[in-house]
Amino acid sequence: MVNTFSFTKPLLETPFHKRTFEACYNNDWYRWAGYKIAREYSNTELEYTSMRNTAGVLDITPMHKYDIKGNDAIKFVDKLVTRDVTQIKPNKVMYIIWCNEDGNVIDDGTVFCFDTNHLRIFCAERNLNWFSDTAIGFDVEVNDVSDSIAALAFQGPLSCKILHLLNVKNIENLKPFFFDNFDLNGSKVTISRTGFSGDLGYEIWCRPEYALNVWDSLFKFNRDYKVLAAGMNALEMVRIEAGFIQPNADFMSAEQALRPNRMRTPFELGMGWLVDLNKNYFTGKKNLIDLQNKPLNKKLVGLDIQGDKPAIGSVLYDKNKKEIGIVTAGMWSPSLKSNIAFGYVDNNHMKIGSKVFAEIYHPEELEYKKIWAECLVVKKQFFNPPRRHKVPADI
Amino acid sequence: MRIFVKKNNVEFQTNKTVEKINISNQSVNSVLLNTGEQIETSTIISNSDPKTTYLELVGASNLDTDFTRRTNNYRTRGTVAKVNIEFKHEIKIKNLDSKYLSGKFVYAPNIKYIEHAFNTNKYNKLSANPCLEFYINKNKLSANVYFIPYLRESSHDKEKILTNVNLILEKFIEENQIVSSIIETPNDIESKYNITGGHWSHGDMEIDQLLMMRPFYGSSQYSTPINGLYLCSAGTHPGGGITGINGVNAAKQLLKDKGNG
C-alpha cells in the first residue's frame, strides 16, 4: 500500500479550513505564520476579478493579533508608533507603523480601540517580543490572542450589499477605519471597514466556533452575486494596485534585516505622512528628527512601466545605464490596464514624473526576452475608487 | 568636601528623595522631590543605579524601546549579603598576631569551593558553605557573605545565613560569644537603599557590562540619551567600590560637553 503524503502536520488549519479545503481546487497552499492558507483556489485572475467586481473572501486568520490591556494602553501604543494615537476613540481603527531606535521601520499594522484601557494591534509579522519590551515601565499587559480569533477579509464593491442582505444592521453607515459589533446570520462578529484591497471592503472577526457559519453566510447569495474565495496570489494583485507595501517583501523589517543598510526609514518608504515629530516621545523619534531634513539615498516609489511584461525582480537604471535600484513588486494591472510596480530609486529620480529604466527578463519558452522598458515615477497608490470612502456605502 | 563646596556656594540638600526627573524635548528640565518641591535645572548627575535612573526617574516613555530593553536586561541581581556581628569579647583570631587584625580577611579556601558557593546562587538557593570577606574592629565584625541570591518570589531564612556564617567564624575566632548580629540580604539592600536588585556594584561586573559597555551600549561614558543627564553611580565605569572615580569621570564628561573640559 502506498502512503499518501499528508500536509496536515505541521501546518495548522484555520477554523475555515473545512471550507477552504473544499474550495481549493488546486490544492495550492501557502505557509503563513504556521497556518495553511490557499495561494490559489482555482484561478488567480478570477479570484482577483471577484474582488474588483463583486466580492472576494480571504482567510486572514493567521494575522497576528495582540491585545493591549491596562491603564496605560493608549500611552503604550503612543510610545510604540510614529503617529499620535492619544486622541483615539472607541470603535476607531488607525493605520500605524513602528520603528526601532534608529528610526527604521519594523512593521505596519492597524490598532483597534475597544476602550481607553483596551486596544488591539493587528499586524503581519510576529511582534510580541518588541511589544513586551516596549511595555517595560507601562501599566499594560500585552497578550498574543492570534489563535482565539478567526478572521476573514470580505473585499469588493458588493461587499456592503451582501452584508446588508444578510441583515447586518446599519453596515452601510460604518465609516472607513471604524469597527463595531454586529450579528451576522446568528453569529456575533466584529466588523471593521478596513482591508488590503484598496476598495470598499470589510474585515470580519469572530470566535472560531462561528467561523463556518460566517463563511457560509457570505456565499449565501451566490446565485445572483458570484462571491469567490480568494487566495494569496489574488491578494498580492489587489494590494499592489492599492499601493500597500509589505514587510520583508518591499522592505526588510528592522527586527529581521541582517544588513544594516537594508533597513528603511518611513521617509524612504514614502510613509513620512505617518510620522508626527511633534507628538510625545516614541521609539526612533530622536533619529527621525535628525533625518527629516536630510536628503534620502533611496525611496520606494510607484512605477508606470512601458509595455505589458511584469517587471518582477527587475533592476532599475538611469538613462546612462547606471544602476539605481530594484523593483520589489510588479504586475500587469487588469483594472488599470497598465504595467505597474513598486521600486527603489535614487535621490535624482524620486520626484513624480521622473524617468527611469527597467531591465525586464521575460521568459518565453525556455528563452529570456530582455526588455529595456521606460518607467515613469508615479504615486504608489494606483487604484483608489470613490466607493472605497463613500458613506453610506453602496448597498 | 563639605567645607570645599560651601566655599564655592554649593548647597547640599539631604533627607529628600528624588521622585521624578522631568524631561521636555529629550532634555532634562527639573527634578521633583518627595516633598513636592520642584528644582529647575539643565544638568543632572544621577548616582542612583542605572535601572532606577532610567525606568523609575526618567520613565520608559522618554526612551527608545531598544534602550529600555537593554536597561531591563542589564544584570543587577545582587549576590552578596552584609552581616555585622558584635561579640562579647574583643575579637582574636586563632594563631594570628593581633597586629594583623586591621587587614581584610577572606575566606575562600579554593576555586572549587567558590564555584560550589556560587552554584546554589544560580538556582536561587543559599550556599551552606559561603565565602566570606570581613573586617574586624575590636569586638565588631563586618562581613560580606558570598553568595546570597536576590529573591523575587520568596524570602530568605536569615537565621540560616547567620548560622552558616558563624560555623565558619567559629573555626577562627576564640571566645566567640555573640551579643548581636544584623544581616542585610540583597532584598534588604534594595528596599533600604533603592538599589535595583540590591546589587552592591549597581550591576554585575562582567565582561559585557564593563569599560565602554558599562552599564550598557547607548549609555556608556557617563552620558545618557537625555540631554543634560549624566550617570555617576557604581553602575558606570569603573564600577563599585566607592573609589570616587565614577564621579570624577562624570564631571569631566560634563565639562567636556559644556566646552570647559
DSSP collapsed to 3 states, chain B = CHHHHHHCCCCCCCCCCEEEEEEECCEEEEEEECCCCEEECCCEEECCCHHHHHHHHHHHHHCCHHHHHHHHHCCCCCCEEEEEEEECCCCEECCCCHHHCCCCEEECCCHHHHHHHHHHHHCCCCCCCCEEEEEEECCEEEEEEECCCCCCCCCCCHHHHHHHHHHHHCCCEECCCEEEEEEECHHHHHHHHCCHHHCCCCCCCCHHHCHHHCCCCCCCCCECCCECEEECCCCCCCCCCCCCHHHHHHHHHHHHHCCCC
Dihedral of alpha carbons B253, B258, B259, B261, sign: negative
Dihedral of alpha carbons A189, A190, A196, A201, sign: positive
Partner-chain contact A136 B68, CB within 8 Å: yes
Task: Provide the shortest C-alpha distance from residue A280 to chain B (in Å).
Answer: 8
Q: Which among A133, A280, A286 is the nearest to B65, CB-wise? A: A133
- The closest of B193, B169, B27 to B84, measured between CA atoms, is B169
pLDDT digits (tens, 9 = 90+) for A246-269: 999 999 999 999 998 999 999 999
The third-level CATH classification (topology) of the domain covering B2-75+205-257 is FAD/NAD(P)-binding domain (3.50.50)
Average pLDDT over residues B2-27: 92
Residue A290 scores a pLDDT above 60: yes
The third-level CATH classification (topology) of the domain covering A64-147 is Alpha-Beta Plaits (3.30.70)
Q: Which among A75, A130, A133 is the nearest to B61, CB-wise? A: A75
Nearest chain A residue to B71 by CA distance is A136
Q: Which among A75, A137, A283 is the nearest to B64, CB-wise? A: A283
pLDDT digits (tens, 9 = 90+) for B107-124: 999 999 999 999 999 999
CB contacts of A84 in chain B (<8 Å) are none
- The closest of A306, A329, A304, A326 to A314, measured between CA atoms, is A326
Partner-chain contact B69 A138, CB within 8 Å: no
Average pLDDT over residues A336-351: 97
Nearest chain A residue to B60 by CA distance is A137
Q: Which among A75, A134, A280 is the nearest to B65, CB-wise? A: A134
Query: What is residue A153's three-state secondary structure?
Result: strand
Q: Which pLDDT band, with edges at 50, 70 and 90, does B176 fall under?
A: confident
Mutate: best of B21, B65, B67, B224, partner A, most A CBs <10 A: B65
Partner-chain contact B72 A101, CB within 8 Å: no
pLDDT digits (tens, 9 = 90+) for A169-201: 999 999 999 999 999 999 999 999 999 999 999
The beta-strand segments (E) located in A86-166 are 93-99, 105-115, 118-123, 141-144, 150-155
State residue A260's pLDDT score: 87
Distance CA B198, CA B137 (A): 25
CB contacts of B71 in chain A (<8 Å) are 136
Task: Provide the shortest C-alpha distance from residue B53 to chain A (in Å).
Answer: 12
Partner-chain contact A100 B66, CB within 8 Å: yes
Partner-chain contact B72 A133, CB within 8 Å: yes
% of chain B beyond a pLDDT of 90: 87
Which strands, in side-by-side order, build the sheet including B178-184? Answer: B105-107, B131-137, B140-146, B80-87, B178-184
Query: By mean pLDDT, which of A2-11, A116-125, B137-146, B147-156 is the weakest?
Result: A2-11
Average pLDDT over residues A57-68: 97
Q: Which among B60, B66, B69 is the nearest to A138, CB-wise? A: B60
CB contacts of A286 in chain B (<8 Å) are 26, 64, 225
State residue B2's pLDDT score: 84
Q: Which pLDDT band, with edges at 50, 70 and 90, does B154 fall under?
A: confident
Distance CA A54, CA A174 (A): 19
Partner-chain contact A281 B69, CB within 8 Å: no
* DSSP 8-state secondary structure symbol assigned to residue A126: -
Is residue A381 within 8 A of residue A302, CB to CB? The reply is yes
Q: For helices A232-242 and A44-53, give the axis angle rounded to 10 degrees.
A: 50
Report the CATH number of the A17-61+149-230 domain: 3.30.1360.120
State residue B175's pLDDT score: 85
Partner-chain contact B64 A130, CB within 8 Å: no
Q: How many helices (H) and strands (E) does chain A have?
A: 8, 19
Distance CA A211, CA A13 (A): 12
ipTM of the complex: 0.82
State residue B252's pLDDT score: 95
State residue A389's pLDDT score: 96
Partner-chain contact B64 A137, CB within 8 Å: no
What are the residue ranges spanned by the domains of chain B?
2-75+205-257, 80-193
State residue B174's pLDDT score: 87
Q: Tally A–B CB contacts below 8 A.
A: 47
pLDDT digits (tens, 9 = 90+) for B206-233: 999 999 999 999 999 999 999 999 999 9
Q: What is the DSSP string of A3-64?
A: PPP--TTTSB--TTHHHHHHH-TT-EEEEETTEEEEEESS-HHHHHHHHHHS-EEEE-TTSE
Distance CA A32, CA A3 (A): 26
Mutate: best of B64, B196, B217, partner A, most A CBs <10 A: B64
Contact residues for A381 (Cβ-Cβ < 8 A; gap 6+): A198, A242, A243, A302
Query: What is residue A226's three-state secondary structure?
Result: coil
Average pLDDT over residues A7-19: 85
Distance CA B86, CA A122 (A): 63
- The closest of A314, A295, A375, A285 to A83, measured between CA atoms, is A285
Nearest chain A residue to B73 by CA distance is A133
Partner-chain contact A137 B68, CB within 8 Å: yes
Partner-chain contact A137 B62, CB within 8 Å: no
Distance CA B64, CA B68 (A): 6
Task: Provide the shortest C-alpha distance from residue A136 to chain B (in Å).
Answer: 7
What are the residue ranges spanned by the domains of chain A?
17-61+149-230, 64-147
Q: What is the DSSP string of A349-385?
A: G-STT-EEEEEEEEEETTEEEEEEEEEEEE-S-----
Residue type (1 letter), A132: S
CA angle centred on A188, ends A211 and A87, rounded to 5°: 110
Distance CA A81, CA B183 (A): 47
Query: What is residue A327's three-state secondary structure?
Result: strand
Q: Which among A133, A284, A285 is the nearest to B68, CB-wise? A: A133
Partner-chain contact B68 A280, CB within 8 Å: no
Residue type (1 letter), A263: M
Task: Provide the shortest C-alpha distance from residue A278 to chain B (in Å).
Answer: 10
Q: Which pLDDT band, with edges at 50, 70 and 90, does A5 fall under?
A: low
Partner-chain contact A130 B65, CB within 8 Å: yes
Task: Provide the shortest C-alpha distance from residue B64 to chain A (in Å).
Answer: 4
State residue A259's pLDDT score: 93
Block residue for cell numbers 569603573:
B238
Q: Which among A280, A283, A286 is the nearest to B65, CB-wise? A: A283
Residue A4 scores a pLDDT above 70: no
